[in-house]
């Protein structure tokens, strides 16, 4: 598998990879004879801060195959630190591109997580717009801060029966990344990807920010307006810590 250079952003190794190279890497590994599951993490600012504060989360990102730049602040940080990533890739960008690849190559996909009914809505969208892609299974785990061993066994068993190429996990970051890492050796698939809230948006259940807001780095504000109570702490309490930490890293580098 091709290796890509990374840029450390407050300790997290962000992969310097673009969408086309990512999709090609996913495809080539599926075609290979390897049977071990590889992990892809999509890391917004709150995930980087979680890793900065928690060694377990940091270890997950440092050991994953690819860690993608989710959000303009992370992209800007890579530029400040002298090794810019080619593009930002949020879950909302990766999922539609991946579904088109699944249509072309007839990938088997397993949908894990989100709220009840969301997986079915996304499966209906896939059937309509990417009809050659195969939704091999859907599983909605219970809403818990920590899954029990019984919960994990049920999820792993459902994935094993489905025999997917790719498992898409929608449990919010970094919870989804921790779950994948903890169960990686038991997941019967080529790839496991923490995709965040992209299920709902791709299925058309929740709107995405206008293109101009995405390009200007204001997609976070659109999300805040949609869910102000849930997003206030993330964007106005946690996120402001990020810029000083990046500047501190830049000063040390200099």
| Strand-pair category, 166-170 with 108-113 | parallel
Cα distances (Å, whole numbers) of residue 213 to 185, 208, 216: 39, 10, 5
* Domain residue limits, the chain: 36-253
Split at pLDDT 50, 70, 90, the class of 135 is: very high
Report the pLDDT value the prediction gives residue 188, as an integer from 0 to 100.
Answer: 92
Mean of pLDDT over the chain? 93
32-58 confidence digits (pLDDT tens)? 877 799 999 999 999 999 999 999 999
pLDDT of 148 above 70: yes
In whole angstroms, how large is the CA radius of gyration of the chain? 18
212-248 confidence digits (pLDDT tens)? 888 888 888 888 888 888 888 878 887 889 999 999 9
Report the pLDDT value the prediction gives residue 218, as an integer from 0 to 100.
Answer: 85
Interatomic CA distance for residues 197 and 222, integer angstroms: 14
Sign of CA dihedral 47, 101, 218, 71: positive
Report the range of poorest mean pLDDT among 62-71, 105-114, 192-201, 229-238.
229-238
pLDDT of 254 above 70: no
- From the number of C-beta atoms within 10 Å of its C-beta (0-12, 13-18, 19+), residue 90 rates as buried
85-123 confidence digits (pLDDT tens)? 999 999 999 999 999 999 999 999 999 999 999 999 999
Beta strands in 34-76 (DSSP E): 38-43, 66-69
162-182 confidence digits (pLDDT tens)? 999 999 999 988 999 999 999
Cα distances (Å, whole numbers) of residue 94 to 22, 85, 99, 236: 9, 15, 9, 26
CB atoms within 10 A of CB 106: 10
Check residue 159 and report its DSSP letter: H
Place of tokens 């190559």: 105
The structure's pTM equals 0.93
Report the pLDDT value the prediction gives residue 46, as an integer from 0 to 100.
Answer: 92
Q: What are phi and psi for residue 111, nearest 5 degrees?
A: -105, 115
């Amino acid at each position: 598998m091709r290796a890509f250079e990374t840029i450390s952003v407050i300790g997290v190794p962000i992969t310097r990879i673009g969408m086309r190279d990512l999709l090609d890497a996913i495809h080539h590994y599926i075609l290979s004879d390897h049977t071990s599951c590889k992990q892809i993490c999509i890391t917004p600012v709150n995930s980087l801060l979680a890793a900065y504060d928690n060694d377990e989360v940091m270890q997950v990102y440092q050991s994953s195959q690819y860690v993608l730049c989710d959000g303009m602040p992370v992209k800007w940080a890579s530029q400040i630190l002298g090794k810019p990533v080619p593009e930002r890739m949020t879950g909302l960008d990766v999922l539609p591109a991946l579904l088109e690849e699944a249509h072309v190559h007839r990938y088997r996909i397993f949908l894990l997580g989100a709220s009840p009914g969301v997986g079915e809505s996304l499966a209906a969208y896939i059937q309509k717009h990417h009809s050659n892609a195969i939704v091999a299974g859907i599983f909605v785990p219970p809403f818990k801060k920590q899954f029990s061993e019984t919960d994990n066994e049920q999820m792993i068993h459902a994935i094993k029966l489905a025999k997917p190429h790719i498992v898409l996990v929608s449990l919010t970051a970094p919870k989804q990344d921790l779950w994948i890492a903890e169960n990686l050796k038991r997941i019967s698939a080529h790839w496991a990807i923490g995709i965040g809230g992209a299920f709902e948006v791709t299925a058309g259940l929740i709107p995405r920010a206008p293109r101009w807001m995405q390009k200007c780095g204001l997609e976070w504000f659109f999300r805040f307006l949609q869910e102000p109570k849930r997003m206030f702490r993330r964007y106005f309490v946690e996120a402001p810590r990020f810029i000083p930490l990046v500047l501190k890293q830049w000063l040390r580098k200099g």
